[in-house]
Amino acid sequence: MAWHGRAGQGRARQHGRAGHGRVARDFSPERVFLLQADDLADSRLKSPGLLADWWPGYPVWQGQRDAAVPMVIIVTLAAVVGLVGNLVVAGLLCCPGGGARRYSLTGLYLLHRAIADACVQVGQPLMVVTVVADKHPWACVFNPALMQLGMVASIVFLASLALDSLLATQPHRFPAHTRRSVLRAAVTVAWVAGVVLFTLTGLGIFRKGDMCLEAPLFLIHTHDGLFVCLLLVFLLPLAVLVASLTLVLLKKEPPSVGRASSDNSPRERIQRAAAEAGTGGRESAPAVTTTTTTAAAPAAAKTLTLPRSARLLASLTLVFAVTQLPYWTLRIHYARARELLPFPVHAVIYCLAVVGTALNPILGVWFRVELWQGVVARLPSHPAAAVPLHTV
């Protein structure tokens, strides 16, 4: 429905004569959600300044303010834990340990993704302070824009990591310098797209008086620029991620030589110990070796395990699909729709997005051997050489 007829014109004239110094605070559904953009061309309708007046501006969410307490607690804990974890991961990746070895491409992708997740988490305490202090919610402009920046960079780096894993399966066609060129392009595209979307979300798209992506004044306007940018920066990396991950998981490779040699080392030690003890002669040693080799061949053929990089990629993608995919759907919905989702749905989606950024550093440390060795190498009584690789 549109706000039309004599009643609508009378309300517009009455609102125009209300004075320039007073802020209108009639946020009933008939007053806010039935307005059109043209009706506000000469209007001075503003979003309320205080949070006590700001919350009733959401007719769908009236009476749900107490339900926001669990969301505030979960978001605060996830943001603090995730920020500390991402800073630790970034520090370990920047200082991987002694020696002059080069940084791995996967480590560089994880480094930039940790920075992107930190951008998402650093703005959450601002929202908590705004809610507690009951001041002008200026953080509603800064936090969603900064969150968009981190989310865009995070999905681009995840898609680039999947593409790099796919290119790594064909080292003859895609050597190391080609993959590093892809890394430089991914870093440029991710941060430039994030800054552009940050600007559109925080400055260019918001009208005067708008504060949040869910604000009533934001919902009654059309945001074609934001909608197109959200679709591009979401669908393109998502297509690259799904295609690359599918090809990586479907690619069947024989067991590596390093894994086979590491598996045979305990057997060789047992044979040498048995020979020294006198239980096996020189004639029995080759026979045992042949028997163990033929017996281990079918077992190795049946149990083809994924490499550590593929497991890391699959785990990060699973976390993204569960936690951040609903958030992207919510943001695209708010760029076009003129209605709010129920508050419990909005709170769950928002909490999942922040919790997902806190899980990424845990997965990074768990799957990357050099991160674990970097932590142990900094302990005074535990040298990194004493940590077996197969325990990570």
Helix, strand, coil percentages (3-state) for the chain, rounded to 5, are: 70, 0, 30
pLDDT(182) > 80? yes
**Residue 285: what pLDDT?**
43
Class of the CATH-defined domain 71-251+305-391:
mainly alpha
Q: Is 64 helix (H, G, I), strand (E, B) or coil?
A: coil
H-helix or E-strand containing 278?
none
Q: pLDDT category, 65, cuts 50, 70, 90?
A: low
Residues 290-326 pLDDT 10s: 444 444 444 444 445 677 777 888 888 999 999 999 9
Whole-number Å distance between alpha carbons of 148 and 195: 9
Contact 37, 221 (CB under 8 A): yes
pLDDT(27) > 60? no
pLDDT(329) > 70? yes
State the average pLDDT for the chain. Answer: 67
Q: For the chain, how many residues are written?
A: 392
Rounded percentage of the chain residues whose pLDDT exceeds 90: 11
Using CA atoms, how far residue 72 sits from 65, 69, 124, 269, 287, in Å, is 11, 5, 9, 57, 67
Whole-number Å distance between alpha carbons of 328 and 120: 14
What value does the mean pLDDT take over residues 107-134?
Answer: 81
Residues 130-174 pLDDT 10s: 666 655 556 666 777 788 889 899 999 999 999 998 898 888 888
What value does the mean pLDDT take over residues 236-241?
Answer: 91
* Chain center to CA of 204: 24
Report which of residues 206 and 104 the model is more confident about: 104
**Start-to-end Cα distance in the chain:** 60
- The residue extents of the domains of the chain are 71-251+305-391
Position 331, amino acid: R
Q: What is the residue whose two structure tokens read 């990746």?
A: 93
Neighbours of 321 (CB within 10 A): 14
